[in-house]
Structure 1
Amino acid sequence: MAWLPTLIKACYFLAALLFILGLKRMSSPRTAQGGIVWAGVGMLLAVLATFALPDMHNRGLILAAVVIGVAAAWWSGRRVAMTDMPQMVALYNGMGGGAAAAIGAAELFGFSASAVTLLDGGTFTADGAGPDTAQLSLAVLGALIGAVSFSGSLIAFAKLQGWLDRRFVFPGQRAVNMAVLAAAVVIGVMLVTGQLTSPLIVAFFVLALLFGLMMTLPIGGADMPVVISLYNAFTGLAVAFEGFVLQNEAMIIAGTVVGAAGTLLTQLMAKAMNRSLGNVLFGNFGAGGGTAQEIGGSQKPIEAADAAVMMAYAERVVIVPGYGMAVAQAQHKVWEFAQLLIARGVKVKFAIHPVAGRMPGHMNVLLAEAGVPYDLIVDMEDINPEFPTTDVVLVIGANDVVNPLAKTDPTSPIYGMPILDVANARQVIVVKRGKGTGFAGIENALFYADNARMLYGDGQAAAGQLVTELKGVDG
């Protein structure tokens, strides 16, 4: 079967094309579903080709693991609520990093079992040849990055799930974190130079996992979208490095594509918050606190009937969704309300902030699930110039991404973050459960503005009231 290696490589090449084309299609909401299918087919092809490798061992165990993993993913994917999708992404991403770390561990322990470390640092196996420095370096680097992504993603999952407080800090935390990372790097260098002992390998992984935990614990909930993107990039890089160790082209290409996409997304998310990656990892955004700028005025409530009338006779209405809408699962009612407005001749658009929700694209997915046409969903850069000519903005569940303090208060934790300029609209109606603050833990000056009114209540209930009241307004 001399043709088998060629066939396997051809399958890997086709799988790589499907990965890249699938990712390209995921860049647009119109083709994203098809892109996911294409990438999934590519992954299936790569897995089947891998099973055909002549030197594969333990095919039965691997098949059993695949079946268990697919069954668990299918069950959880079918049951997860849209509001819980960000933490599922964090969890699955962590599994990818953990898998890469496990491959690195298997390779390092394998090298350790077959190698003899000499006093001069040379490494030899039983047949006279051992792993070269490049191979060891990639195995160690992939294992380090994968372990950090694994443990860090688990903390991100726990934070999004509400199992952990938003931040965990202590004096000298940065120094301790750097010391843990430095110790892991030192041991990694020792492994690369041939000191492949089991105690050192175990210590290396313990420190790498510990660093992932300690790096993520102090990060606030408002930064989780950026953190998820960063760990996604980490997982991709770890998979690519371990692919080089195993000389598996599919892993190299898939990991590189995921790593590049995650890196670009992380940069875009940080830019959308006007913050550097270092500030995300070591800053205080999401830590809570007040603001030095005095907020005058008071919050002015409005009834659903009055709000419905105000929007019924408006020419232009912009709806700004946030995570509160997702929690209330109000997207279907909001779209029903928007459809009623459109039927009356009102021009309706949905404005999306890049970091609205718990992960990139969260609001877009929710609105698409409710059936909102893509051409009604507008990004921040495009919608901001339109707010001064907008009659009414309906904010439902959004907070920090519409807070004017981001532009006016240099002491605010969100200062400099680009926001949706809803305060420039003629009238603003904010649907909010209570008077609490957003992720950043600060008051929202928009809620006290002269042109803002507060419609208090659960998002779905409030949207339902608006629908009922709008139906009763004379045409």
Structure 2
Amino acid sequence: MSWLPTVIKACYFLAALLFILGLKRMSSPRTARGGIVWAGFGMLLAVLATFFLPDMHNRGLIVAAVLIGVAAAWWSGRRVAMTAMPQMVALYNGMGGGAAAAIGAVELIGYARGLGLLQAVPDTSPLRPEAWAVNGLPPALSPTELALGVLGALIGAVSFSGSLIAFAKLQGWLDKRFVFPGQRAVNLLLLAAAVVVGILLATGHVSVPLIALFFALALLFGLMMTLPIGGADMPVVISLYNAFTGLAVAFEGFVLGNEAMIIAGTVVGAAGTLLTQLMAKAMNRSIGNVLFGSFGAGGGEAQAIEGAQKPIDASDAAVMMAYAERVVIVPGYGLAVAQAQHKVWEFAQLLIKRGVKVKFAIHPVAGRMPGHMNVLLAEAGVPYDLIADMDDINPEFPATDVALVIGANDVVNPLAKTDPASPIYGMPILDVGNAKHVIVIKRGKGTGFAGIENALFYADNTRMLYGDGQAAVGELVASLKEIDA
């Protein structure tokens, strides 16, 4: 069937087109759901086309692996709570990096076998059978392919181990930050050692001990790079490892000669890199600091905060907003924990019926992953034209009668502008303190995920409505309905 390779290439081209168009549609909340479906069909098409490659082996094992993966993803996707979505994204992203690293490992082992180092390994690679040598002859890997395979394996291994640490931190299994003196130097030495060993492998000095050392160093570097990262910077980390995984897949696609992997990995890597830059800008950090800095580490003793937190009850807060002209609602991770998004939208609708102008303000790194708050509000049915990003909404706060903060902490902390010793100093924030009145819904008087005291809570124009987010908003809804009765 001489026409089969052409059909497979055409399927890969169509799959790549669906990847790109799907990603484009994901750039807008209005079309994001459709974009995910498009990209999913592209992936399905690419997988099906791969089964018809003439040199494909072990199709039964591959089908079994696909079925297990689909079943696990379907089960976990259906059961995962919205609050656990960030760690799920981190885990799945790590699996992608690990898969790319595994491909690199297979190719390196095949190369070693071709040099006569692993004669006992059978010719059963389902990935690239022609790369495995026959009768001890050198494998069909060019110097460029070998170098790209090593580079993809390095990046994929770092993404895999780093994503697992990110998952464990978000899941609460590890402390938020782990630092020790000289940590940056240790990390740089680990990276340098991994690169040196990788260069040896890429230049043909392949041996089993060297392969094992290479992956050990890469995995350890991923662990050590992620351990000192604080929770407030986790959105940057997730987007960074997403870029790493995409790049690793693209490099391994070159090694396998698979166009779908090359295009999909390049698109994901480019998008992840741009997103990382946007997240770093939102945190006022450089990419170098993201890679090698001690995330969330302060530079001295923080300023003492004067004053006291002033409580307010739900009925008074409801009256304040019922007779306001403009209200801006700022959601944070606490809203996700309380699953309060539907109640918040119900409350906003009641205000809108009274003629109050309501908007939702989203900080770029609110929550635990990029777009976390947008997903929550979209789930509740909040219209997209009511959602404003930080740059657009900040000039409006001085004309806002009430800013309602629900479960947000670090992204509204004015110490980011006033205290050079604060770990978040220089980070752009939502200027809710410039509103005439601020109401903060919070479970208690503790600090946020980054462990930083918030000066906003002690401001003269701020009142604290203590309690679970959903219950507190429910009280606001009930009080507002009594006013309208």
Deviation at 1:80, TM superposition (A): 0.3
* Native 8 Å contact 1:287 1:440 kept in 2: no
Which residue identity is paired with 1:146?
A: G
In structure 1, the residue matched to 2:241 is: 231
In structure 1, the residue matched to 2:208 is: 198
The percent identity for this pair of structures is 84
Q: Are 1:32 and 2:49 counterparts?
A: no
In structure 2, distance between residues paired with 1:440 and 1:284: 13
Deviation at 1:284, TM superposition (A): 4.2
In structure 2, distance between residues paired with 1:116 and 1:359: 47
Q: Are 1:415 and 2:425 counterparts?
A: yes
Q: Deviations over 1:320-379 (max 9, x none)?
A: 000011011111111111111111111111000000000000000001101111111111
Pairs within 5 Å for 1:243-322: 243-287=253-297, 292-322=302-332
* Native 8 Å contact 1:22 1:37 kept in 2: yes
Distance 1:465 1:195, change over 3 A: same
Q: Deviations over 1:127-177 (max 9, x none)?
A: 566522211101110001000000000000000000000111122222222
Match of 2:444 among 429, 434, 447: 434
Which residue identity is paired with 1:28?
A: S
* Native 8 Å contact 1:167 1:287 kept in 2: no
Deviation at 1:181, TM superposition (A): 1.8
Which residue identity is paired with 1:369?
A: E
* Native 8 Å contact 2:336 2:376 kept in 1: yes
Q: Are 1:60 and 2:70 counterparts?
A: no
Pairs within 5 Å for 1:443-454: 443-454=453-464
In structure 2, distance between residues paired with 1:288 and 1:457: 30
In structure 2, the residue matched to 1:120 is: none
TM-score when normalising by structure 1: 0.96
* Native 8 Å contact 2:115 2:137 kept in 1: no
Moved more, 145-154 or 169-178: 169-178
Distance 1:25 1:310, change over 3 A: same
Deviation at 1:193, TM superposition (A): 2.0
Pairs within 5 Å for 1:128-167: 130-167=140-177
* Native 8 Å contact 2:179 2:294 kept in 1: no
Deviation at 1:287, TM superposition (A): 4.5
SS at match of 1:473: helix
Deviation at 1:296, TM superposition (A): 2.2
SS at match of 2:483: coil
Gaps of 5+ in 1: 118-122
* Native 8 Å contact 1:429 1:454 kept in 2: yes
Distance 1:139 1:79, change over 3 A: same
Q: Are 1:463 and 2:455 counterparts?
A: no
TM-score when normalising by structure 2: 0.94
Moved more, 268-277 or 252-261: 268-277
RMSD value over aligned CA atoms? 1.7
How many residue pairs get aligned? The number is: 470
In structure 2, distance between residues paired with 1:191 and 1:331: 52
* Native 8 Å contact 1:286 1:439 kept in 2: no
Distance 1:160 1:174, change over 3 A: same
Distance 1:256 1:408, change over 3 A: same
* Native 8 Å contact 2:299 2:420 kept in 1: no
Which residue identity is paired with 1:74?
A: W
* Native 8 Å contact 2:240 2:276 kept in 1: yes
Q: Deviations over 1:432-468 (max 9, x none)?
A: 1111112332221111111110001111110111111
Which residue identity is paired with 2:421?
A: T
Gaps of 5+ in 2: 118-132
Distance 1:458 1:466, change over 3 A: same
* Native 8 Å contact 1:19 1:254 kept in 2: yes
Deviation at 1:189, TM superposition (A): 1.5
In structure 2, distance between residues paired with 1:71 and 1:290: 50
